[in-house]
Structure 1
């Protein structure tokens, strides 16, 4: 028996080949192609996209010399507020004890232990973050300091303090994300998140928390036209950081804006050393530096997997 397949002949005789089908299995796109349409250069959205791309390219170009040093700079700035705070406690030891015992009603020994534990944790934790030694434990210790001080000094219900410390926590989470390494499962048989999964969630949390400093800036102080203008631009950049849209560009912009704001608004060096406002300005100055450090780490690492920028690469 022949293995060939015979082709039917029409009744009129003569061989007629079957009609040509360019896509016999139907894998092609059945919809008619509309053709390539060039972007309209006069479209405002297209203009913004081009400008944003140019700015992002310039940020990438001009930060290249600093690129190898950005992680170290960011880490140092993040913990500088803890170093300043530990130095302030040491140099104002008696005043700190008086406040805790008189106004916070700490017992004599507990007040000493409270201050001593804070100083040791801040110095050791800051050194570990800067040197990248056991950063995960250092971040945990510094997070504990933020929480304990909020309750110990009775500032948990101070909105400005609360928002600022949320941003500091965001900076610490950026350090944690930068320091993450692959760990084996703690318990056999139990599911665990991979390093990349953990990192992208911590990056998302860090990005969102970092912007609370600017929200605190917006809700305090007297309003003016200049303040309104700066607030609108800054809020737009904060939203871009939070959702991870042009995150490197917006984070670099906030670094520049907060640095200028910090020098001109929190200029504690221009206030007399005996003036009570000096300590508040110094505290705000170094906390803002910590948040700038978190944004610098964001510029270096990028926004991570849970971001608009990353989704644009996928789709």
Structure 2
């Protein structure tokens, strides 16, 4: 007992570091963030926005996947309805301007209508989604060639975004499955989902790029374009993806109502159909962004990498 007391008693010649191995500099300790730093203020603001998005989207969150899937296919449903209600005009255009032989034009339209109706119904009901997405992708491609719009820049960019939305649907439907050939090298379902999410994110932003490069410029358009391009870049790389996708949903929804207001144009005016087409296509891209808000950006994103580190 006395030996422990002697050991604990301090000696006058005792040195804390007899071998001089310690760092002579005093420890700086943890350096707290400067609240006046603009970057720190931006981080705090973005965190508040993310929290608000999370809070206010809670009541809708259980319904977001269904809303997103429906909006993605609404352009196909509208297109099928337009073909049926304008059957004679469609046949005349394909035969007169696209030089489709009689019968081939009818078959082309029938295949498109059936594929769009069946594929859209399957996507909404989440039944056989892989085949439904494949069929709708086929419709996008063959319509581009059939109507001669494949080289139209606006059509091309919009349909890239629609394809991105379909990729988001496909990613949303993917579930983990065991490989049939266990032990053989193959891409897992999880990895495949990450790649489809990445492709979907990148393709979704092409609609906004089309909005930026076309149309008349104004101060408001310039401001919205700069902010929107920043949000598009964030969606593409998956940085603050839910926040930026929510922002694009808001911007595109407002833009769609005011710019593509087909209901205010007379039914006999030829511009009505073009505005209607653009309106429903924009809704489809909004649906893809809603699925992104619900699912997150996936493994191949800055947000996911930040969790790792």
What is the TM-score when the length of structure 2 is the normalising length?
Answer: 0.90
What's 1:281 paired with? Answer: 275
Query: How many angstroms apart in 2 are the aligned matches of 1:236 and 1:120?
Result: 39
Correspondence 1:203 to 2:205: no
Correspondence 1:149 to 2:152: no
Over the aligned positions, Cα root-mean-square deviation in angstroms equals: 2.1
What's 1:96 paired with? Answer: 90
Query: How many angstroms apart in 2 are the aligned matches of 1:211 and 1:88?
Result: 27
Query: How many angstroms apart in 2 are the aligned matches of 1:89 and 1:254?
Result: 30
What's 1:264 paired with? Answer: 258
Query: How many angstroms apart in 1 are the aligned matches of 2:193 and 2:178?
Result: 15
Shift of the alpha carbon at 1:139?
Answer: 0.4
Change (3 A) 1:20 1:195: farther
What's 2:39 paired with? Answer: 45
What's 1:308 paired with? Answer: 302
What's 1:11 paired with? Answer: none
What's 1:62 paired with? Answer: 56
What is the TM-score when the length of structure 1 is the normalising length?
Answer: 0.89
Change (3 A) 1:97 1:187: farther
Shift of the alpha carbon at 1:181?
Answer: 2.3
Shift of the alpha carbon at 1:191?
Answer: 1.9
Change (3 A) 1:115 1:314: same
What's 1:247 paired with? Answer: 241
Shift of the alpha carbon at 1:193?
Answer: 1.2
What's 1:178 paired with? Answer: 172
Shift of the alpha carbon at 1:188?
Answer: 6.6
Q: Deviations over 1:108-153 (max 9, x none)?
A: 1111110000000000000000000011110000000000000000
Query: How many angstroms apart in 2 are the aligned matches of 1:275 and 1:62?
Result: 41
Shift of the alpha carbon at 1:33?
Answer: 5.7
1:108 aligns to what SS in structure 2? coil
Q: Deviations over 1:153-208 (max 9, x none)?
A: 00000000000000000000000000012344465764221121111110000000
The answer to whether the 8 A contact 1:244-1:309 is kept is: yes
Aligned length: 292
